[in-house]
């Protein structure tokens, strides 16, 4: 599928889904006036529906036992589930994050949560022990998704995860990496292995995944979790003080975060994006970015061409912001992206 075709279908998804009934679930009857709710996409391999906005834990959830540090996180989790979201991404690599989740998730939250963690070690016994420890810390008998973090000891850990999946202790398996430079390797694994998920970076400033990796995942029936949608906050630093363009209202955005997240989920291969936050205001803004607000937004009044043009404008306008990394309107970086130390 050509990029413009992705854009054409993708923004219809992001703006309420009225034009893409087969791509998403919006949870309402045709023609009915319904309250806002999360847009969901189905995991290709299992059919499980996931809200397209999830929650990352790298950074904000790496805290100690101090109640003053944990109380804001409890509020974030409550708002997260109240907003209809479910997928929480974590890893043994994120210091205390798994333990903090295990202590803060209430039984009601546990019943609704889709917990995605990772294995990040070498050796079969070591990998199995790490997955079992993650399950204990988060008080789970079954983990919804476990991925091989940064492709470490890939063959051994995939074999272990598939064994756990066969036993019913893990529901989905996948692979992750956080750098553009590793996307060719991710694609090679997707090509040769049967996977449920890939997790990678994808953003308006680092859109390289749409060239090969995202189309391949769509072709192979592999779900995609996107991290670093805000390029580790660098996008906000460069946009600070700049007002939203007037056309942002046409795609139901009233903040830069909403616009940037909508750019990501506009790609139909993306299953879920996982911005990390420990701030209640940011969490609510993130979830609002892709609510199915058909009462407020008549998606059908925008032609397919107009929707495609609007998404092109997102890229073009952002690329022209002072100090922004080079991003052409076609979505291809005009300068090499340097690797960072992000591990989400």
Q: How far apart are CA 294 and CA 35, in angstroms?
A: 8
- Residue 181: inside a domain, yes or no? yes
Task: Please check whether residue 117 is in contact with residue 344, taking contact to mean a CB–CB distance below 8 angstroms.
Answer: no
Q: Return the exposure string of 133-160: e unless at least 16 CB atoms fall within 10 Å of the residue's CB, then b.
A: ebbebbebeebbbbbbbbbbbeebbbeb
Comparing 340 with 252, the larger pLDDT belongs to: 252
Which SS3 state, helix, strand or coil, does residue 122 take? coil
Q: For residue 60, give the nearest of 104, 22, 24 by alpha carbon.
A: 104
Q: How far apart are CA 50 and CA 293, in angstroms?
A: 18
- Residue 223's alpha-carbon distances to 33, 110, 122, 155, 203, in angstroms, are 30, 22, 25, 20, 17
- Give the number of residues written for the chain: 344
Q: Is the pTM of this model over 0.75?
A: yes
Task: Please check whether residue 197 is in contact with residue 173, taking contact to mean a CB–CB distance below 8 angstroms.
Answer: yes
Which SS3 state, helix, strand or coil, does residue 40 take? strand
- Residue 168: inside a domain, yes or no? yes
- Residue 30: inside a domain, yes or no? no
Q: How far apart are CA 231 and CA 44, in angstroms?
A: 27
Q: How far apart are CA 147 and CA 130, in angstroms?
A: 12
* Residue for token pair 């546990």: 110
Tens digits of per-residue pLDDT, 39-63?
Answer: 899 999 999 999 999 999 999 999 9
Is pLDDT above 90 for 35?
A: no
* Residue for token pair 């109640």: 67
Contacting residues for 21 by C-beta, under 8 A, at least 6 apart: none
Q: For residue 272, give the nearest of 217, 329, 330 by alpha carbon.
A: 217
Reported as a pLDDT band with limits 50, 70 and 90, residue 297 is very low
Task: Please check whether residue 115 is in contact with residue 143, taking contact to mean a CB–CB distance below 8 angstroms.
Answer: yes
CATH code: domain of residue 141? 3.20.20.100
Q: To 5 degrees, how large is the angle CA 190–CA 192–CA 195?
A: 45
- Residue 334: inside a domain, yes or no? no
Which SS3 state, helix, strand or coil, does residue 273 take? strand
Is pLDDT above 60 for 336?
A: no
Return the minimum-mean-pLDDT range out of 115-124, 142-151, 229-238, 288-297. 288-297
- Residue 326: inside a domain, yes or no? no
Side-chain half-sphere exposure of 136, counting CA atoms within 13 A: 6
Reported as a pLDDT band with limits 50, 70 and 90, residue 307 is very low
What token pair was written down for 280?
A: 């209640």
Side-chain half-sphere exposure of 39, counting CA atoms within 13 A: 34
Q: Average pLDDT for residues 138-166, to the nearest whole number?
A: 98
Find the domain containing 106 and state its range. 3-17+38-320
Strands 40-42 vs 49-51: parallel, antiparallel or unpaired: antiparallel
- Residue 342: inside a domain, yes or no? no
Q: Count structural domains, the chain.
A: 1
Q: What is the structure's pLDDT at 249? A: 81
- Residue 327: inside a domain, yes or no? no
Is pLDDT above 50 for 2?
A: no
Q: What is the structure's pLDDT at 49? A: 96
Q: Whole-number mean pLDDT of the chain? A: 80
- Residue 109: inside a domain, yes or no? yes
Tens digits of per-residue pLDDT, 88-127?
Answer: 999 999 999 999 999 999 999 999 999 999 999 999 999 9
Task: Please check whether residue 302 is in contact with residue 15, taking contact to mean a CB–CB distance below 8 angstroms.
Answer: yes
Specify which residues 42 forms β-bridges with: 49
CB atoms closer than 10 angstroms to residue 28: 14
């Amino acid at each position: 599928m050509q990029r413009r075709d992705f854009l054409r279908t993708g923004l219809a998804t992001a703006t309420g889904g009225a034009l893409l009934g087969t791509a998403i679930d919006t949870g309402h009857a045709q023609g009915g006036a319904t309250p806002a709710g999360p847009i969901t996409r189905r995991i290709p391999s299992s059919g499980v529906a996931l809200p397209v906005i999830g929650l990352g834990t790298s950074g904000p959830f790496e805290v100690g036992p101090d109640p003053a540090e944990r109380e804001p996180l409890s509020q974030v989790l409550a708002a997260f589930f109240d907003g209809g979201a479910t997928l929480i991404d974590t890893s043994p690599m994120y210091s205390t994050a798994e333990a903090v989740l295990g202590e803060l998730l209430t039984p009601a939250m546990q019943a609704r949560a889709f917990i995605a963690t990772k294995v990040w070690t070498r050796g079969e016994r070591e990998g199995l022990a790490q997955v079992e420890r993650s399950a204990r810390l988060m008080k789970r008998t079954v983990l919804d998704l476990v991925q091989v973090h940064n492709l470490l000891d890939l063959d051994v850990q995939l074999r272990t995860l598939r064994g756990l999946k066969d036993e019913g202790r893990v529901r989905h398996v996948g692979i992750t990496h956080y750098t553009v430079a590793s996307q060719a390797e991710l694609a090679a694994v997707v090509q040769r292995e049967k996977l449920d998920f890939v997790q990678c970076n994808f953003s308006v400033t680092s859109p390289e995944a749409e060239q090969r990796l995202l189309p391949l995942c769509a072709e192979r029936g592999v779900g995609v979790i996107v991290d670093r949608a805000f390029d580790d906050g660098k996008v906000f630093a460069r946009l600070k003080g700049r007002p939203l363009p007037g056309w942002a209202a046409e795609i139901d955005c009233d903040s830069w975060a909403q616009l940037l997240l909508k750019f990501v989920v506009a790609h139909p291969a993306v299953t879920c994006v996982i911005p990390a936050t420990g701030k209640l205001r940011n969490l609510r803004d993130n979830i609002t970015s892709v609510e199915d607000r058909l009462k407020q937004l008549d998606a059908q009044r925008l032609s397919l061409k107009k929707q495609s043009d609007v998404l092109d404008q997102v890229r073009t306008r952002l690329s022209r912001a002072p100090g922004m990394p080079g991003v052409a309107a076609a979505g291809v970086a005009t300068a090499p992206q340097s690797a960072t130390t992000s591990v989400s």
